[in-house]
Amino acid sequence: MWIYEKKLQYPVRVSKCDVKMAKYLLTQYGGPDGELSAALRYLNQRYSMPTKKAKGLLTDIGTEELAHLEMIAAMIYKLLKDVPLEVLEREGLGAHYAVHNSALFYADPNGVPWTASYIQAQGDPVSDLTEDMAAEQKARQAYEQLLQLTDDPLLKDSIRFLREREVVHFQRFGEALNDVQGFLDSKKYY
């Protein structure tokens, strides 16, 4: 089970409202390599992992991704706080408003809804951990692109934190992959 903690993993601060940036950040909320995809991918893959290290790591990184999802939501919430409808419309969230009003939704910046086909579960631990490593690099890349799209120093600080976490997760998944490969080799008898 999971227990909710009423705190963010890292502070989320913004200098000013920014509708365009809120829209771009949706890629890390409901986009292909966003935090929702990450959490669901890892927490689902752990059931078919053969080693203790891989099961532990997928559980703990999957849980951390839920905290990142909450940070992205907090960024979007703060960037859109008290923004009048005319500004939302002018800055590109008119279509979102027509469908969702001011609600957050698991979709990418183009409005494409999140789908389970963004994630994989092949049951082969080498395939799955390799996919996870690629996903971390794609998320790292997305954060670098997002950093180029804003000049807000406070927002950049929170985005940089998330970018760094992708790098650490990539490293740990690589270690779990080595462990799994060692385990699979030890089981081969000819």
Partner 1 sequence: MQSSCRKIMSELMQWSFVQYELLLYLDTHPEDRTAYQDYVNACDKVNQLKRQYEAYCGALTPCGFAPPQYPWGWIETPWPWEIDY
Residues 6+ apart with CB under 8 A from 185: none
**Rounded Cα–Cα distance for residues 51 and 61 (Å):** 16
List the one residue from 15, 47, 50, 56 that touches partner 1 (CB under 8 A): 56
Angle at which helices 35-45 and 125-148 cross, to 10°? 170
Q: How many helices (H) and strands (E) does the chain have?
A: 8, 0
List the one residue from 126, 151, 175, 182 that touches partner 1 (CB under 8 A): 175
- Kindly tell me which of 73 and 89 has the beta carbon lying closer to partner 1: 73
Q: Is 61 one of the binding residues for partner 1 (CB under 8 A)?
A: yes
Give the shortest CB-177-to-partner 1 separation in angstroms: 10
- Which residues in the 7-46 window bind partner 1 by CB under 8 A? 7-13
H or E stretch at 125: helix 125-148
| Segment 123-128 long-range contacts (CB within 8 Å, at least 24 positions apart) | 123/48, 125/48, 125/49, 125/50, 125/51, 125/54, 125/180, 125/184, 126/177, 126/180, 126/181, 126/184, 128/45, 128/48, 128/49
Q: Is 4 one of the binding residues for partner 1 (CB under 8 A)?
A: yes
Give the shortest CB-77-to-partner 1 separation in angstroms: 5
- Kindly tell me which of 118 and 180 has the beta carbon lying closer to partner 1: 180
Q: Is 168 one of the binding residues for partner 1 (CB under 8 A)?
A: yes
Binding mask 66-95 for partner 1 (x = CB under 8 A): ----x--xx--xx-----------------
List residues binding partner 1 (CB under 8 A).
3-13, 52-53, 56-57, 60-61, 64, 70, 73-74, 77-78, 168-169, 172, 175-176, 179
